[in-house]
Amino acid sequence: MKPIDRVTEISAKISSMEIRGAGRIATAAAKALRDFSQTEEAKSLEDFNQRMELAADILLKTRPTAVSLSNAIRMVMKYRKDDLAAARESVIINANRFIENSEKALEKIGQIGSKRIRDGDVILTHCNSLAALSVISAAHKLGKSIKVIATESRPRFQGITTIGMLDQMGVETELIVDSAARSVMNEVDLVVVGADVITASGTLVNKIGTAQIALFAHEARTSFMVAAETYKFSPQTILGELVTIEEREPGEVLADHSRYSHVRVRNPAFDVTPHQYIDLICTEVGAIPPEMSYLIIKERLGWEIEE
Ligand code: RUB
């Protein structure tokens, strides 16, 4: 297999969601670029740069919403461009730094976020987020008695992955269909979800269904927390760019959709939760109000307007 085919193979796994979740796809992309940089056979720096750009481009096109992917790729691609050996070495350093930092970030988010969970709390989560699960797991490890209500997260049922993980941790868990979220909200003390994108204004883009859960939480006066590594914040939104919402195959929603000639089955994968419905964003550098997102982008992602 040619080195670039390996990149294509990983890209296909990301597109088909065999590898999924904003953090996991970012790490997979960083690893793919790192491994590619060691196996491709460029003879000149220019050739190397071109091959790396091609690989980065293939990975970037896999899923349009998650900014974690472009942030991870941008961080890895900031390698030294003065000589071929140094460039290869620097790709490894950048990729490993990204992977290591994201692991540490998850742990830190757990430590910080778990302080917001009280003994006896009922937590609702949506989809399958490692950052949200880190908060829940840390609270459980601290010995807090908690119960988690997990939504199924139609159409891809990531909630089943979530209940599997909670079961492994030994956390008391209930599974509900997505449309039961309002019915149970009065029993819930805190909603914890992950993020695919957080914009400069603190708006959250996450798995479809998140926005209505945030509205229900707001109406029921239930706290709504987002758990997100700082690389889920989008520098591009400072420049006014809108987040692209991925629309996936109708077959994920209804297998035999083509037998209806006048019906279009729609499958938007993410939705937008305004910052007014978010109480707190728990990152590895602290628990912040959504209005502080701009500062995270400026300070943590080193984003320059000229870039
Ligand atoms: C996953 C999803 C998750 C975020 C955060 O969507 O919306 O809440 O990606 O996950 P999909 P994590 O299943 O379509 O990728 O905290 O693990 O990065």
Q: What CATH number is associated with residue 20?
A: 1.20.120.420
Structural domain count of the chain: 2
Going by C-alpha positions, the residue among 49, 51, 58, 59 that lies closest to residue 28 is 59
- Give the pLDDT confidence score for residue 23 in this predicted structure: 98
Cβ(113) to ligand 1 under 6 A? no
Hunting for tokens 């070495």 — which residue is that?
89
Q: Judge if 77 and 164 occupy the same domain.
A: no
Mutate to test the pocket of ligand 1, among 207, 225, 231, 284 (most ligand atoms within 8 A of CB): 207
Query: How far does residue 119's CA lie from ligand 1's centre (Å)?
Result: 27
Final residue of a domain: which of 104, 127, 159? Answer: 104
Cβ(21) to ligand 1 under 6 A? yes
Positions in the chain whose pLDDT score sits under 70 = 304-307
Domain membership flag for residue 307: no
Domain that holds residue 283: 115-300
- Give the pLDDT confidence score for residue 305 in this predicted structure: 59
Q: Exposed/middle/buried for 49, CB within 10 Å: 0-12, 13-18, 19+? A: middle
Catalytic residue among 35, 121, 127, 282: 127
Cβ(267) to ligand 1 under 6 A? no
Calpha distance 211→264 (Å, rounded) = 23
In ligand 1, which atom is closest to the CA atom of 130?
17
- The percentage of residues in the chain with a pLDDT greater than 90, rounded to a whole number, is 95
In ligand 1, which atom is closest to the CA atom of 158?
13
282 included as an active-site residue: no
Going by C-alpha positions, the residue among 196, 154, 145, 205 that lies closest to residue 175 is 154
Q: What CATH number is associated with residue 257?
A: 3.40.50.10470
Calpha distance 216→168 (Å, rounded) = 29
Query: How far does residue 210's CA lie from ligand 1's centre (Å)?
Result: 11
**The pTM is what?**
0.97
Q: Judge if 129 and 240 occupy the same domain.
A: yes
Final residue of a domain: which of 41, 70, 104? Answer: 104
Q: Judge if 36 and 151 occupy the same domain.
A: no
Calpha distance 32→30 (Å, rounded) = 5
Cβ(127) to ligand 1 under 6 A? yes
Cβ(205) to ligand 1 under 6 A? no
Q: Judge if 294 and 207 occupy the same domain.
A: yes
Query: How far does residue 69's CA lie from ligand 1's centre (Å)?
Result: 12
Q: Judge if 86 and 147 occupy the same domain.
A: no
Q: Judge if 166 and 273 occupy the same domain.
A: yes
Final residue of a domain: which of 83, 104, 125? Answer: 104
127 included as an active-site residue: yes
Q: Judge if 55 and 36 occupy the same domain.
A: yes
- Across the chain, mean pLDDT equals 97
Query: For 151-178, how does the pLDDT look when each residue is reduced to its tens digit (9 = 90+)?
Result: 999 999 999 999 999 999 999 999 999 9
Q: Judge if 38 and 137 occupy the same domain.
A: no
Q: Judge if 183 and 79 occupy the same domain.
A: no
Asked whether the bond before 64 is cis by omega within 30 degrees of 0, the reply is: no
- Give the pLDDT confidence score for residue 301 in this predicted structure: 87
Asked whether the bond before 155 is cis by omega within 30 degrees of 0, the reply is: yes
| Residue 183, number of CB atoms within 10 A of its CB | 11
Query: How far does residue 22's CA lie from ligand 1's centre (Å)?
Result: 5
Query: How far does residue 207's CA lie from ligand 1's centre (Å)?
Result: 7
Q: Judge if 128 and 175 occupy the same domain.
A: yes
Q: Which residue, by CA, sits nearest to atom 7 of ligand 1?
A: 207
